[in-house]
Amino acid sequence: MQNGALRVPSAVVLLVLGCAAPRTDVAPSAKACLRDPIQGFGAARVGRGNIAVFPPGADGDVAPLRVLSGPRLGPHRPAIMAVDRRGYLYVTGEPGKGGDDTVRVFAPDAEGNAVPVRVLAGPRSGMSAPSGLALDRRGRLYVGHHLRKSRAETAGITVYEDEASGDAAPIRELFGGGHRYDELGAPDRLAVGRGDSLYVRTIAALAVYAPSAGGMTEPARHIVRITPGPQYARLSSPNLFVLDPHDSLYAVAGDTIEVYQPGYSGAEQPVRRIAGPRTGLRDVKDMAMDSRGWLYVLMPGPRWDAALVRVYAAGATGDVAPARTIAGGRTRLSMPTNLAVDRRGQVYVANIGETVPECADSAATW
């Protein structure tokens, strides 16, 4: 699933990071380098982005098994991913860019500037600013949309048959009510639980919909619901969550991961927590869960070029150290945005930064 983090254009990112105006006497590659306001200059820059894939059991400073990169990933940097039961990779670009209302599907072992095996886009598809992806056990694809052009600018979710391609119409739609207070506004994190119940995190709620839900429908269960009023902007719904194979819900709360029992309604206390200095949890960017119940946590790291993935064993609790950590210069992790794990245990990380050697010497030219 896909995540709820705000995505901004690269020009804004560079401005926020405090880069000075580029000098005219430096190489083009140096001009694009990022400046970490705390650590100084890192060996990274904003680029087209890539998807780094690591082998099962990857640990330490390991090189990716393969890297997908190039214009065939899409005109915008990869931002949201999902992997189906056969290992096909579904990718969308940064939402809200406009003009690229597309989901691209890549073969299980695709690498480099690979050609997608399928592309889902077109007016009949209803594809519009994709903001979340999920797949169920039968291979059906669920896509969240910030705006649905075919529904008078309402947000919503479309569901597609397994292997849908081209301008294929959805087999089912869930949509909100236009510009009024809307529980399906900006559905940016989706997950399909056991029995195909659909978990949706939106601007107004974290809710669970029945497997056959369609149209303008009420959730079967609310986990968190924000009511209209002055508190509307102070969103308390978990920004990130994943489900384990038993439908236990893992949610991020600061630098803590709270675990709730299956069927959680929002009122029960966590059955356990992962938190403490030994866990290494800090500024969690995304999470994923494998078929064994192992938890994968993506973090930006102390520098722009020092992102990492921590892996916790199934049932981990308390102040427990991760079983594995993927981190280091050889990983090519740089400004990551999204995380996914396939049935083989391969780990996928979408990056919007590029690790480049010339950036390491940027301090001499800025």
* Measured distance CA(251)–CA(223) in Å, rounded: 11
- Given strand 118-120, what is the order of strands in its sheet? 78-83, 89-93, 103-106, 118-120
* Measured distance CA(223)–CA(243) in Å, rounded: 14
**227: CB partners within 8 A, 6+ apart:** none
Asked whether 265 and 220 are in contact (CB, 8 A), the reply is: no
Q: How many helices (H) and strands (E) does the chain have?
A: 2, 25
**Which residue, chain included where needed, has tokens 């690790």?**
355
Structure tokens at 113: 């500037």
Domains and CATH numbers, the chain: 10-361 (2.120.10.30)
**Which residue, chain included where needed, has tokens 């993506």?**
298
What's the average model confidence in pLDDT over 120-130? 89
How far is CA 104 from each of CA 25, 74, 138, 243, 301, rounded to the nearest angstrom?
Answer: 40, 8, 19, 24, 29
In the predicted model, what is the mean pLDDT of the chain?
Answer: 80
Confidence at residue 127, expressed as pLDDT on a 0 to 100 scale:
86
- Given strand 172-175, what is the order of strands in its sheet? 130-135, 141-148, 154-160, 172-175
* Measured distance CA(359)–CA(363) in Å, rounded: 8
What's the average model confidence in pLDDT over 30-55? 61
| DSSP result, 79-90 | EEEEE-TT-PEE
Structure tokens at 171: 């087999």
Assess whether pLDDT exceeds 60 at residue 196.
Answer: yes
Structure tokens at 85: 């039961």
Would you put residue 341 in left (φ > 0), alpha (ψ -120 to 50) or beta?
A: beta
Using only C-alpha atoms, the chain has a radius of gyration, in whole angstroms, of 20
- Residue of 321, 322, 199, 311 lying closest to 249 (CA atoms): 199
Assess whether pLDDT exceeds 70 at residue 356.
Answer: no
Q: Which of 89-103, 122-136, 204-218, 264-278 has the lowest mean pLDDT?
A: 89-103
- Residue of 173, 187, 105 lying closest to 145 (CA atoms): 187
Assess whether pLDDT exceeds 60 at residue 187.
Answer: yes
Confidence at residue 69, expressed as pLDDT on a 0 to 100 scale:
93
116: Cα separation from own chain's centroid: 20
* Measured distance CA(322)–CA(147) in Å, rounded: 39
Confidence at residue 145, expressed as pLDDT on a 0 to 100 scale:
85
Residue-wise pLDDT for 153-171, tens only, equals 456 899 999 999 999 999 9
Structure tokens at 290: 């494998």
Residue-wise pLDDT for 237-284, tens only, equals 567 899 999 999 999 999 999 999 999 988 899 999 999 999 999 999
Asked whether 250 and 264 are in contact (CB, 8 A), the reply is: no
Asked whether 17 and 352 are in contact (CB, 8 A), the reply is: no
Assess whether pLDDT exceeds 90 at residue 24.
Answer: no
Assess whether pLDDT exceeds 60 at residue 324.
Answer: yes
